[in-house]
Structure 1
Amino acid sequence: MRTRLTHRLLLTAAAAGLVAAGLVVQAPSRAEAAVPDTIPLTLTNNSGRGEAVYVYTLGTLLSTGQQGWADASGAFHPWPAGSVPPVPAPDASIPGPAAGQSKTIRIPKLSGRIYFSYGRKLDFRLATGGLVQPAVQNPSDPNHDILFNWSEYTLNDAGLWLNSTQVDMFSAPYAVGVQRADGSTVNTGHLKPGGYNGVFSALRAQSGGWGGLVQTRSDGTVLRALSPGHGVESGALPASVMDDYINRVWQKYATTTLTVTPFANQPNTKYFGRVSGGVMNFTNGSGAVVTSFQKPDADSVFGCHKLLDAPNDQVRGPISRTLCAGFNRSTLLVNPNQPDTSSAAFYQDPVTNHYARAIHDRMADGKAYAFAFDDVGNHESLVHDGSPRQAYLTLDPFS
């Protein structure tokens, strides 16, 4: 079940002393360990669409490590064994609310996803390694022509983490929320009026091949925009789309020092990057080289992996996530002190992650998970509470 976003949550939360959405968390005190085995999740269908909605709660049971699914009551069911080739998984769908209606189910202590689809059930398969999830960058995936989306969540003894995510694609709009222990409610993920169609229009209008990310069904229904990493992988976006910016960054830091302060709560922990021989070497305050990076390509930048791999450690991972955010937001040339956390400076270079720019511009609160380390500087669309009373997932209008 782990995605690059899940890995991002593991890494950044570990740096803060807790791990979210797919994660290991610091053991709570006895007084704090009051999170019940399941909590209510209210699904509200404000989509305005007439198709049937199907909902799935899938993930890893934190108490045992088993992969499986939960029914509407929150009861967990392990997946049966898979095979090669993959075989159909049991039908884990829960009938969702009709348009204009709400429905409350219960979600258990899982690290996983809440999927929802319109009009058709999703096609899940089981391989020998576990669940095969939809891969819409593959045109032959059985779910390619289904309109669907998902949220990621973790519920454990330390509370609930629930996000809206566009790390893999921008599709059916939704928002997430939580009612906190004090009774207040917070939410994130709502688009501005016109924002849903506005994202697709912005991508189509953007030169350089960004319109190739938009996928449309044969009946004319716009299904999604692939994330640029999947776009490069599938050939929908040119692999050279970030080369000019990457080259300028490497040129700049051959003669200038890039200072990275990866932990907001540790302002004295700094690393210093300089490019030499085509490699960016980072040194600590003593001048010792602590990690090095080859010049990345667009896929490494968009995916925050490969040449920008971010292991779950306290040095390379935190530096890498800072670089990843700086590349995607195009702040590395205008600020040699990173991370740059002021959104006013984001996406201003002509060569940037225009997918992330289009999404953030159209979010009501400006928050999104448009790439895996979009939480650098707290720009992510995530709600959390240590003792949640209620979770929410709202299916929003397609406008």
Structure 2
Amino acid sequence: MRPPRRLLASLAAAAAVAAGVLTAGPAAPAAAEPAVAAAANTIPLTLTNDSGRADPVHVYVIGTQLSTGRQGYADADGTFHPWPRGATPPVPAPDASFRGPADGRSMTLRLPEFSGRVYFSYGRKLDFRLADGGLVQPAVQNPADPNHDTLFNWTEYTLNDAGLWINSTQVDMFSAPYTVGLTAADGTTEETGRLRPGGYRAVLDGLRAQGGGWENLIRTRADGTVLRALSPGHAVGSGILRPDVMDDYIDRVWAKYRHETLTVTPFAHDPGTKYYGRVDGDRMDFADASGSVVTSFAKPDADSVFGCHKLLDAPNDQVRGPIARTLCAGYHRTTLLTNSHQPDQDASGFYRDPVTNHYARLIHQQMRDGKAYAFAFDDVGAHESLVHDAAPRNARITLSPFD
């Protein structure tokens, strides 16, 4: 079973990026682990640059070393380096970068047993800092962040004794395009995250054409370079997308389930576990098969929907969290009015309402395989851009054209 998305993306991405700090583990000696030990717990990763850009590429492999719980970075041969202690105010982190391949070229590095990220930036290195609480990562929604004007992106991965999980992500932003892939133990290959020809521009053009504030998600550098499109959660939080942008849909959902029952089957492997939701006053109550109320949700707002948090909080438990992530997916995909049994598995019906997550709609529409991580629980129903193998021969990241 793969690690839960809430661990891989929303805690590691949304919490760390929004808060700006990735909590560090216990203090560790500054000396690196022996290269032989590191190499024994790594797999080769081929990084190919098909971007069409002449800018130098800077690469970073950062995360948690799973064998020790320490946080740090790896160099190109997979050797682990723990972060030194931080300070208040945050101090510059050691330069964890190594030079990536030029356009049209490839390089092979060693991917260590981490739960972490592979960052890549074009032209400029990223500015990482160390606070008392740990690593300060780029906050893409903050105009004052030192990385705001840098063109960059990242992939998320976990490599452990159960195999490799690696995914592309747009949970925080849609930016420099790339694909991820692997070669499985049996020699077959998998790939995801590849845009259709012209897909990068189509997403941006679609946001511009949508209007209603969705065009404001696009962030541009002073020289005219498009840096990213912010996710709608960050856009609402930054005041560039109206906080009431989802209200009409949420109101209609709330009205429907005052008189009808919403059935949630949160576990694909356990179809017998069901919860039944009805709106009662200012809350939506969910009951189990015996009729006992197991959890309740207040009427959400757009921020709660887009972030899958606050009024739609999803703790790592076996009841409230699974119900919340199913609800969150239904709100993003706007399927709660068309199907009272959730999750809805039929992607052809997603994002059909005029009031919907147009950011997620456009990204999924432009992916060759239709899969993306456009919000934290896009893995509900297995619509996420992730590949996994229990014993992979290698992994791949390809920097794609900006077309």
Q: Same fold (TM over 0.5)?
A: yes
8 Å Cα contact 1:215/1:223 also seen in 2: yes
CA deviation map 1:162-200 (0-9, x unaligned): 000000000000000011000111000000000001101
Residue matched to 2:218: 214
Q: Which amino acid aligns with 2:381?
A: G
Residue range with higher mean Cα deviation, 351-360 or 261-270: 261-270
Residue matched to 2:232: 228
1:89-100 correspondence to structure 2 within 5 Å: 89-100=93-104
Q: Residues of 2 paired with 1:250 and 1:206: CA distance?
A: 26
Q: Residues of 2 paired with 1:321 and 1:8: CA distance?
A: 11
8 Å Cα contact 1:5/1:167 also seen in 2: no
Q: Residues of 1 paired with 2:396 and 2:375: CA distance?
A: 23
Residue matched to 1:78: 82
Q: For 2:208, what is the secondary structure of its paired residue?
A: helix
CA deviation map 1:23-72 (0-9, x unaligned): xxxxxxxxxxxx95001110000000000000000000011111100000
Q: For 1:123, what is the secondary structure of its paired residue?
A: coil
8 Å Cα contact 2:50/2:400 also seen in 1: yes
Q: Which amino acid aligns with 2:347?
A: S
The match for 1:101 among 102, 105, 113 is 105
Residue matched to 2:62: 58
Q: Which amino acid aligns with 1:64?
A: T
Q: Which amino acid aligns with 2:8?
A: T
CA deviation map 1:68-89 (0-9, x unaligned): 0000010000000000110000
8 Å Cα contact 1:5/1:372 also seen in 2: no
How big is the shift at 1:107? 1.1
Residue matched to 1:396: 400
8 Å Cα contact 1:5/1:373 also seen in 2: no
Q: Residues of 2 paired with 1:160 and 1:283: CA distance?
A: 37
1:358-397 correspondence to structure 2 within 5 Å: 358-397=362-401
How big is the shift at 1:207? 2.6
Q: For 2:187, what is the secondary structure of its paired residue?
A: coil
CA deviation map 1:338-393 (0-9, x unaligned): 00011011000000000000000000110000000001111000010000110000
Residue matched to 2:256: 252
Q: Residues of 2 paired with 1:61 and 1:259: CA distance?
A: 40
Residue matched to 2:288: 284
TM-score w.r.t. the length of structure 2 is 0.91
Q: Residues of 2 paired with 1:299 and 1:43: CA distance?
A: 36
8 Å Cα contact 1:40/1:106 also seen in 2: yes
How big is the shift at 1:300? 0.7
Q: For 2:338, what is the secondary structure of its paired residue?
A: coil
Residue matched to 1:132: 136
Gaps spanning 5+ residues in structure 1: where? 11-34
The match for 1:154 among 147, 158, 167 is 158
Q: Does 1:44 align with 2:48?
A: yes
Q: Residues of 1 paired with 2:335 and 2:212: CA distance?
A: 20
How big is the shift at 1:267? 1.2
Total equivalences in the alignment: 374
Gap change, CA 1:284 and 1:7, over 3 Å in 2: farther
Q: Residues of 2 paired with 1:5 and 1:216: CA distance?
A: 31
Q: For 2:73, what is the secondary structure of its paired residue?
A: strand
Residue matched to 1:27: none
Gap change, CA 1:124 and 1:272, over 3 Å in 2: same
Residue matched to 1:272: 276
Q: Which amino acid aligns with 2:62?
A: L
Q: Which amino acid aligns with 2:330?
A: G
CA deviation map 1:123-177 (0-9, x unaligned): 0000011100000100000000000000000000000000000000000000000
Q: Which amino acid aligns with 1:96?
A: G
Q: Residues of 1 paired with 2:361 and 2:241: CA distance?
A: 16
Q: Which amino acid aligns with 2:360?
A: A
8 Å Cα contact 2:9/2:156 also seen in 1: no
The match for 2:145 among 141, 147, 151 is 141
Q: Residues of 1 paired with 2:367 and 2:5: CA distance?
A: 23
Q: Which amino acid aligns with 1:135?
A: A
CA deviation map 1:85-136 (0-9, x unaligned): 1000000001000000000000110001000000000000000111000001
8 Å Cα contact 2:183/2:393 also seen in 1: yes
Q: For 1:6, what is the secondary structure of its paired residue?
A: helix
The match for 2:360 among 347, 356, 359 is 356
How big is the shift at 1:8? 5.3
Q: For 2:110, what is the secondary structure of its paired residue?
A: strand
How big is the shift at 1:236? 1.3
CA deviation map 1:255-277 (0-9, x unaligned): 00000011112111110000001
Q: For 2:270, what is the secondary structure of its paired residue?
A: coil
Q: For 1:139, what is the secondary structure of its paired residue?
A: coil
Q: For 1:153, what is the secondary structure of its paired residue?
A: strand
Flag as ranges the 4+ runs of structure 1 deviating above 3 A. Answer: 2-5, 7-10
The match for 2:189 among 179, 185, 192 is 185
